[in-house]
Amino acid sequence: MELSDLFCLENKQELYNNVLELYIHILIYEHQINNIYCLSCQEGDLLFFGDSIHINEKHFTFAYINNAFNTFTYVDPIGNEESILSQLF
């Protein structure tokens, strides 16, 4: 990826929780995947777990949804393991 590609992300005015989140956003931007939505851990907690007391047990650092393949992918808080849950929608 070129430095100029990173500058293109400036206009998005996104807030990133961590480097991993920014990295995945760059990958999505690089491949021009338009049907993927990025979620921060807070947004994901609210969307998938609501106000449940079990949020901390299933906490994730970063997640993204691919509508085309109906998958929800998350990276655990340590950031070294990725899991995919299919057919959520």
pLDDT score of 9: 46
pLDDT score of 30: 54
Q: What is the domain range of residue 51?
A: 3-86
Q: What is the pLDDT along the chain (89 residues), one digit of tens a residue?
A: 444 444 444 455 455 555 556 566 655 555 555 555 555 656 656 665 566 554 444 455 556 666 566 666 665 555 544 555 443 33
Closest residue by Cα to residue 73 from 49, 30, 25, 39: 39
Q: Spell out the alpha helix ranges (H) of 9-86.
A: 19-31, 41-44
In angstroms, the CA 70 to CA 67 distance is 5
pLDDT score of 6: 45
Tokens of 42: 């807070």
pLDDT score of 19: 55
DSSP structural state of residue 59: -
Domains in the chain, number:
1
